[in-house]
Structure formats: structure tokens, C-alpha cells
Amino acid sequence: MSKQKMSKEEEIKTDSGFSVKAVYNRSSIAKKNIKDEKPGKYPFTRGIHDMMYRERLWTMRQYSGFGSAEETNNRFKFLLDHGQTGLSLAFDLPTQTGRDSDNQQSEGEVGRTGVAISSIEDMLTCFDAIPLDKVSTSMTINSTASTLLSLYITVAEIQGIPPTSLRGTTQNDILKEYIARNTYIYPPKPSIRLIGDMIQYCSKYVPQWYPISISGYHMREAGSNATQELAFTFANAIEYIQTCVDRGLKVDYFAPRLSFFFCCTMEFFEEIAKFRAARSIYAKIMKERFHAKDFKSCTLRFHVQTSGESLTAQQVDNNIVRVTTEALAAVLGGCQSLHTNSRDEALALPTEESVKIALRTQQIIATETGVTKTVDPLAGSYYVESLTNQIEEEVNKYLKRIDKMGGALVAVEKGFFQDEIRKNAYSLKKEIDEQKRIIVGVNKYQDRHDIEPSLNVMDSKIENRQIMRLKEFKKNRDKVKIDHAIELLIKNAEKDNQNLMPHIIHAVKNKVTLGEISNAFQSVFGKYEPKISF
């Protein structure tokens, strides 16, 4: 009988495959003495600030951006009026992949997954009457991040605001595009060059901006587990940091403006432990590997988004509970910024009502639960501390393995990350299909007559209006200035030692479009074609 019970107990595991005991005690965390660790002190396991949310809450940043620039501007104002403290901007697929709205390959996708931004006119409309020195803006953009930041800087200057006053983030993590998302344009090496250009430029001219948010989120959504999410994200971070160091930049010059973006799923305690372990792992990488002296270079600042993959199209109100649980884990894990998904996102872009519920979820956690009254409330939990130690140990094993391959860029080119994620995704799907993993409303507790909520309906004429406006914009430009600006882009892209940011800013100021800038770089860098294996 006892052997049967023991075997059942051993079968209980976390999402990352760690065996879960029935009871945890002091011996469970004997490997790591936590008594001397304090919040705000290296290695920052307990938080990057000594008072954390007692002094300042996390930034509540709802993901926005859809349809036209006008609609996005209206949604921004709605969110700011309802207490949001930061803007988060999504772009449509043509914008993400370097195509103007009037490009033939953009047909059917203009304004669908985010806002269509092709020109300085679009960006001006998007931020009309929103003073950019008073808000923090996060832009979920990667391949064309340098162009979108250049447009943002130009809008600010038109508003009379200097770049030194701008606060926000460009996602700009291209390696995870080759791993999980696939909205790449150029091959990896020139893409990483552009990232280095942005980090170098922002360090000097846009000092409050985070030029990159190194993202585990999309790899997690593609099927990785918590340990893989951290390991692959930090491997990519090492690649970016080394790129800047190889340029001659001192690590303490740029590292304080690096940020991260993680996912939070339904494995509650493992997620809390993941965020605690992440701070310790990163601090040690920066101190021991890159010899950072400034403590700010060693502090992991990260944004969290609740898991879109965990949302279900069935019984959408259940998603409110899922989002609340994930948001609470992110807060208990000590995030600096948080986005809560809306209940109807498995079906459509969220309605204003759903977005408001998602925002109110954060506000209720912040003001009514009491979790912000003390720093790192679950410190000392035998279970959480044990998971924190195990995650750190397993992540470091992965990092050593990736180092032996030659680093993240080589690992991406070999398909290592992609294969690891595929294997884990298959395992997860199999568990759901076999009902070893219960998803309420999907494979258990189904409703025969599930009521679909009122959904956000896209205006079918948005695409035509955007294309007409863009064609009018292009028709009224100075062709000589356009040709000269594009010529400069190509000429400087051909020189490995040229920072391209000033030339991109010059181009957008002279009304060169996003698609034209992308085409200019493609003529030099080429276009990435993934290797297909059968």
C-alpha cells in the first residue's frame, strides 16, 4: 500500500517537470541559505527595491493598438481616463514585417492584429494630444523597431519634447522571432547589428528609454516550460550584451537600460518561484560574466503579461479567473510592469468593457488584497524557496549547454531552441488530449450551449481608408529628398561601423515610409529564409 502511494506522489510534477512532494520543510531548502538575502540587495532574489510596492506600485500597462491610428488614439485616451499608468502599443503584421499598408502583400492584414503605421503622419495621429513627456510607452515591435522608435522620437520633437524626456520600451528582441514568432525580415547578424545601434544610440541620446525588452513571453506561448523560458531568454540576453561589449561599450554604460518580458501561466507557485530565480540568475550573469560594477546593471527589470495561451474560447468568463490568478502570481513574484489579458481575446480583439475588467483586476489586487503591504510575501515558504532553487539550477545547466554550442545565435541557427520548445509543446498537447491536464470548459466541465459574448467588430473599411491616406501622403512628398534619404540609408548600411539610427531618423523626418526603409535595408542585408527540415 505504501509503495502504491509513493508512486502516485512521484507522478505529481510542476509544468517544468519538478517532482512535488506532499510536504515541504526546512531540509527542502538546505542547499541555499536565504537568511542573509534582503530586498534591494544582490542577488535581488527578494526584489530589486528594498521597499518594492510599499513605495511604488507596478506600472499597469494594457496592450492596445488596433485598426487605424485614429482608433488607437481614442483607445489610449479611454485607458488613460480610467487610470492606466502606461501605454502599450501593438502593430499590425505589415508594420511588423516592414511592409507599407499599400503593399500588395499587406492585403487583408492592415489594422488586424494591431495599428497600421506606415508613415510619420500615422504616428502623429496615433499620439495626437498625448504629451509624450507625461506617459511611458511600450511598443511591441521587433524587426522594424529602429524605424518605429525613430518615428516616436520625431513625433516628440514635433510636440517640442526632447528625446531625453522620453520614457518607454521597444521590444526589439529579434532572436526570439527566429525561435518562436517568425516576424523577421533580415538575417540574424544584421538584425542584431540594428539592435546594437539602438542600444548605443539610446544610451547617449534617449537615456530614459529601454531600447530592448528581451522576451521569454513568446517562447513560453509557443510551448516552452518555465525553466526553458528563463534559460533561452537569458541566453539571448547574453548574445545582445556581448554584441554591445564587442563594440567597445562598457557594460555599466548600457546595461541599466535593458529590460525583460516574461509570461505568467497558471502554474501558480512555480511562476512566483520563476520570477524570484530570474533575478538571482541575471544578477550573477552580470556580475560574474560581464563584471558589472553598477548594481543597476545587475537588477532584472521585467514586464509580465498573463498567458494568452491559457485563455479559452469556451466559457470566456472563466478567463477572468485565469487572468486574476496569473496576475497575482506576477505581483507576488515582484514584476515592475504588468499587462492583464482580456476575457474575450481568444475570440477577437478585446472590447472596451473587457479591457476595463482586465485593468480593474490589477487595481483590485493592488488596493484590496493586502499583498503589497510587505516585500516578497512568500519568502521563506519551503515550497516556493525549493522551487526557486531548482529553477535556478536547471536554468544554469541549460546556459552551460548553450555556451558549449557557441551561444544563442549558433543555437538558433542549429534549431536547438525550436526543437526543445516543440518537444515540450507536444507533451503539453498530449496531456490535454488525454485529460491528464484539465482545462475547465475545454476537456472537462463543458457547457452544451456556451453563450458567446458581444465581440469587438472590425470596421471593414479601415484598410481602404488607410491605403488611400497613405497614397495621398506619398503623392505629396519631395521626391528628391526621399531618394537622397534612401540613398544615405543604403550607403551607411553597407558600412559595418556606421550607427544607422541617425540616418533612419533623418529618413522619417523627410517622409520616407516604413516599407521604404525596410526595402532599403533588404537591398543590403538580404531577406532571411528559414531552413526547412523534413
Collapsed DSSP state (helix, strand, coil) of residue 127: coil
For strands 209-210 and 212-215, give the pairing: unpaired
Question: Where along the chain do the CATH 3.20.20.240 domains lie?
Answer: 45-433
Mean pLDDT of 150-159: 97
d(CA 41, CA 461): 54
pLDDT digits (tens, 9 = 90+) for 331-385: 999 999 999 999 998 888 788 899 899 999 999 999 999 999 999 999 999 999 9
Domain covering 45-433, topology:
TIM Barrel (3.20.20)
Among 76, 69, 74, 75, smallest CA distance to 91 is for 69
Confidence of residue 196 (pLDDT cuts 50, 70, 90): very high
Is residue 534 scored above 70 in pLDDT? no
d(CA 210, CA 134): 16
| CA quadruple 386, 389, 391, 396: dihedral, nearest 10 | -160
Single-letter amino acid, residue 459: D
Which region among 47-61, 98-112, 331-345, 435-449 has the lowest average model confidence (pLDDT)?
435-449
- Residue 165: its pLDDT value, please? 97
| 184 pLDDT tier (thresholds 50, 70, 90) | very high
Question: Residue 8: is its pLDDT beyond 70?
Answer: no
For residues 69 and 123, the answer to whether their CB atoms sit within 8 Å is yes
The mean of the pLDDT values for the chain is 92
The H or E element spanning position 259 is strand 258-264
What is the percent of the chain with per-residue pLDDT over 70, rounded to a whole number?
Answer: 94
Host H or E run for residue 221: helix 217-222
Count the Cβ atoms, other than its own, within 10 Å of residue 259: 21
Q: Give one DSSP letter per residue of 296-328, joined into a string.
A: GGG---EEEEE-STT--SSSTTHHHHHHHHHHH
Lowest-confidence region among 292-306, 457-471, 500-514? 457-471
The answer to whether 320 and 342 have CB atoms below 8 angstroms apart is: no
Q: For residue range 97-126, what is the model confidence (pLDDT) as tens digits?
A: 999 999 999 999 999 889 999 999 999 999
The mean pLDDT value for 3-11 works out to 51
User: Percent of the chain beyond pLDDT 90?
Assistant: 81
Report whether pLDDT(3) > 60.
Answer: no
